[in-house]
């Protein structure tokens, strides 16, 4: 089952940012962006936004097969990520290539993400919510803090002056997988695009998506049907926080 989280309904909820000129989605692993905000990115891309993806790890531990060739797995996951991005509407895909499971929130990671933000100058940044309760995976937790710390550095001129880049302050930061959402993007009409983008990550069918590894046969068809129904149910749940049929929820922060 895809880990959308179990958000609490607390306080006022806003909906639908103005379509950004440029959006930067940052995920810990290949597939995290599609899980967290694939429908939102597809909607914005269809409306003319430039969409960019930054993946912080190499995805090298994303298998249960101890005999899997790791170099080929990393290459496959990068190709899957590029295909998923294409399905969502195109846009640049970059990889920070930190070892899967070993991402840390250090000055070096902050420097690199801050530089990318200053170069790209996104209107909106989307990333993992590092304050989600009981988050077990260190990459998700650390990815969120890398982004929040890098955003502070990117916006303030006296951080990382060696980059020789002008500071940049995005309009908003949308944190996906949030326990306490305060913003929902209406993604009705883009749920199928999100599902197709998730299905591009074939190497993750068993480990993350809960699908049959084989794409053929009645069992695989039943697995795909259950997966699709689960995605739609999660989008309906998140949309309900704002009275929307299908949505993706976030915790919205002003930067």
pLDDT at 91: 85
pLDDT at 12: 85
pLDDT at 213: 72
Phi, psi of 249 (to 5 degrees): -100, 155
Least Cα distance to 23 among 53, 3, 47 occurs for 53
Give the Cα separation of 109 and 117 in Å (integer). Answer: 12
CB-based burial, 33-53: b 16+ in 10 Å, e otherwise: bbbbbbbbbbbbbeeebbbbb
Give the Cα separation of 175 and 182 in Å (integer). Answer: 10
Q: Which residues contact 238 (CB under 8 A, 6 or more apart)?
A: 4, 7, 181, 184, 247, 248, 249
Do the Cβ atoms of 25 and 51 come closer than 8 Å?
Answer: yes
β pairing state of 93-98 and 50-57 = parallel
Do the Cβ atoms of 117 and 125 come closer than 8 Å?
Answer: yes
Phi, psi of 168 (to 5 degrees): -145, 135
Give the number of other Cβ atoms within 10 Å of residue 195's Cβ.
19
- Single pTM value for the model: 0.94
User: Could you tell me the residue ranges of all domains in the chain?
Assistant: 14-253
What is the maximum span of the chain, computed from C-alpha positions, in angstroms? Answer: 60
Give the Cα separation of 144 and 105 in Å (integer). Answer: 9
pLDDT at 218: 66
3-state secondary structure of 252: strand
Fold classified for 14-253: Rossmann fold (3.40.50)
- Placement of tokens 């039943």 in the chain: 222
Give the Cα separation of 130 and 141 in Å (integer). Answer: 5
Give the Cα separation of 42 and 89 in Å (integer). Answer: 6
pLDDT < 70: residue spans in the chain: 1-10, 214-218
Read off the pLDDT of residues 123-135 as tens digits, 9 standing for 90 and up: 999 999 999 999 8
Give the Cα separation of 57 and 203 in Å (integer). Answer: 16
Give the Cα separation of 188 and 232 in Å (integer). Answer: 10
Angle at the Cα of 142 from the Cα atoms of 253 and 73, rounded to 5 degrees:
120
């Amino acid at each position: 089952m895809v880990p959308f989280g179990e958000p609490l309904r607390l306080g006022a909820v806003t909906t639908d940012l103005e379509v950004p000129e440029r959006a930067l989605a940052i995920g810990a692993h290949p597939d995290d962006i599609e899980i967290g905000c694939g429908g939102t990115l597809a909607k914005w891309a269809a409306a003319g936004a430039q969409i960019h993806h930054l993946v912080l790890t190499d995805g090298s531990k994303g298998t249960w097969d101890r005999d899997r060739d790791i170099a080929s797995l990393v290459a496959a996951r990068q190709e899957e990520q590029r295909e998923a991005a294409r399905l969502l509407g195109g846009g640049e895909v970059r990889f920070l290539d930190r070892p899967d499971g070993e991402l840390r929130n250090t000055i070096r990671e902050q420097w690199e993400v801050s530089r990318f933000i200053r170069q790209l100058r996104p209107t909106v940044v989307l990333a993992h919510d590092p304050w989600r309760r009981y988050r077990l995976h260190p990459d998700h937790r650390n990815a969120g803090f890398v982004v929040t710390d890098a955003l502070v550095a990117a916006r303030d001129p006296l951080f990382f002056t060696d980059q020789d880049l002008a500071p940049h302050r995005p309009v908003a930061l949308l944190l996906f997988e949030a326990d306490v959402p305060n913003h929902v993007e209406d993604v009705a009409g883009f749920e199928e695009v999100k599902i197709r983008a998730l299905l591009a990550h074939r190497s993750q069918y068993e480990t993350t998506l809960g699908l049959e590894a084989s794409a053929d046969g009645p069992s695989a068809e039943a697995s795909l049907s259950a997966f699709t129904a689960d995605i739609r149910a999660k989008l309906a749940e998140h949309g309900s926080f704002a009275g929307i049929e299908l949505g993706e929820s976030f915790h919205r922060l002003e930067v």
